[in-house]
Amino acid sequence: MAQKHGVLIVNLGTPSEATPAAIKHYLGEFLRDRQVVDLPPLLWLPILYGIVIPKRLKYITEHYQAIWLNNQSPLLFYCEQLWHKMQVRYPDLPCELAMTYGEPSLLSALERLKNCDTIHVISLYPQYSTTTTLAASKKINQLVSNWPQPPIFNYLYDYADNPHYIDALVYHIDQHLCLNQPDILLLSYHGIPMSYVKKRPDEYVTRCELTTHLIKQKITRYYPQLEVMMTFQSRFGKGKWTEPNTSDVLFELAKKERSVTVICPGFAVDCIETLHEIDIENRELFINAGGKSFNYIPALNDNPLQCELLAALINESLPKQPN
């Protein structure tokens, strides 16, 4: 009997609404995960619910409200667009979309795929990290641990150096640089605590450096005078995080009156970290500090380039058909 294959597309997650209640619920689920914050629960949960969420809820709600798209979060909107396009492209292949935290839930997606013999999990995290990719796979394994005959799961490690991914990004960047070439192309990735890099260990920084190297190698063929820099954003708390910090670098570049274009290669689709943190907060910081010009290149989102990339990742995951 032929094996039945299915595809599960996974991203991090998002609040269901841009309201304090929905955002509080989402942050609670997200930040309770030990892969995200590895402090002991007895220590962390009182801090999370007594200090962190109450202190940050008002302005996080305002930030989500500023970027809300078509009555939902941009992350969910673009992921759903990609998912629908893959369903059209692969009409005979069961394909589901799920979020590690929030809706659509991993459990509901897995239930719809439970008749598959093998589920190919495509996590939309180009660079592997224990805080994202591993968190999703651990949750999936936990959810099916009591199933009598769970499917085989084929996890995509990451696609930091996948030629389809690099080519899509380089072409996407070129479409913007050819219209307005800056002094600096800044590649900003989400940061993680340095303690995770050392003690887990987590290869995330190395994977980001690899993506940066491959992009720089190709894009500077067309723009030999372009300076390419790599930074990390979204620092949280007082501990040491991956460096250099995006905001600090932008501030220094602004004082030198440089022109900057920013892209966030670690984000498959736009979200609060790109649309608000980069394109609103850091743009304002840069311009107010004297920067010459600031441009943000959107994520690949549901661009045809991203659709071709996702199709390539699915094709590479599925077993090869005999000739």
Q: Is 190 annotated as a binding residue?
A: yes
Contact status, residue 150 vs residue 169, Cβ threshold 8 Å:
no
Q: Largest Cα–Cα distance in the chain?
A: 67
Question: In this structure, what are the phi and psi dihedrals at residue 121, rounded to the nearest 5 degrees?
Answer: -95, 115
CA distances from 96 to 5, 8, 10, 149, 183 (A): 12, 5, 9, 20, 42
Residue among 242, 230, 129, 240 nearest 191 (CA): 242
Cis amide bond preceding 104, omega within 30: yes
* Residue 29 annotated as part of some ligand binding site: no
Binding site for Fe(2+): what residues are annotated? 190, 273
Binding site: what residues are annotated? 190, 273
